[in-house]
């Protein structure tokens, strides 16, 4: 069913505690943990506890949880004392998405270029 945990999903396994992660925040609907391969001094992923393949699919099905996710991204940035940060939703393999469970990347602690690569 829509939103249910997927047995073959890495991020569902992290939520279930089956794969270890360095958790920075948790709410009823979201989970935030450090990226295993950080691309900036601060690199945290915020994910919904429900499984949807990407941010747009999540937003279509669960607008409140999508709002929770964005608010949590702001809370993480505040806790990490990031004055500036980049919030990224890679969507589709051509854009670099490798894990098909919606997630926001919070990147900060260094200068950022635009346009991104």
Instruction: Give the active site residue among 51, 101, 103, 105.
Output: 103
Span interacting with Zn ion, options 4-12, 67-75, 83-91, 109-117, rule CB under 5 A: 4-12
Question: Residue 21 interacts with ligand 5GP (CB under 6 A)?
Answer: yes
Question: Residue 53 interacts with ligand 5GP (CB under 6 A)?
Answer: no
Indicate the DSSP class of residue 4. -
Least separation in angstroms between residue 88's CB and ligand 5GP is 7
Nearest to 23 by CA among 79, 88, 82: 79
Asked if 103 is an active-site residue, the reply is yes
Q: Give the one residue of 57, 74, 97, 109 binding ligand 5GP; rule: CB under 6 A.
A: 97
Question: Residue 35 interacts with ligand 5GP (CB under 6 A)?
Answer: yes
Question: Residue 51 interacts with Zn ion (CB under 5 A)?
Answer: yes
Tokens 């998405």 belong to residue: 97
Question: Residue 103 interacts with Zn ion (CB under 5 A)?
Answer: no
Report the residue number, 52 or 85, with the smaller CB distance to Zn ion.
Answer: 52
Alpha carbon distance 17, 2 (integer Å): 21
Q: Distance from CA of residue 70 to its chain's centroid?
A: 9
Nearest to 24 by CA among 75, 96, 99: 75
Nearest to 29 by CA among 47, 52, 4: 47
Residues carrying an active site annotation = 103
């Amino acid at each position: 069913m829509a939103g249910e945990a997927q047995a073959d999903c890495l991020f569902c396994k992290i939520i279930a505690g089956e794969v270890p992660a360095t958790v920075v925040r948790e709410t009823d609907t979201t989970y935030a943990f450090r990226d295993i391969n950080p691309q900036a001094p601060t690199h945290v992923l915020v994910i919904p506890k429900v499984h949807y393949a990407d941010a747009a699919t999540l937003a279509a099905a669960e607008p409140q949880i999508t709002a929770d996710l964005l608010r949590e991204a702001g809370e993480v940035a505040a806790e990490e004392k990031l004055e500036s940060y980049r919030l990224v939703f890679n969507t589709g393999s051509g854009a670099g998405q490798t894990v098909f469970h919606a997630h926001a990347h919070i990147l900060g602690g260094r200068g950022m270029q635009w346009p991104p690569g």
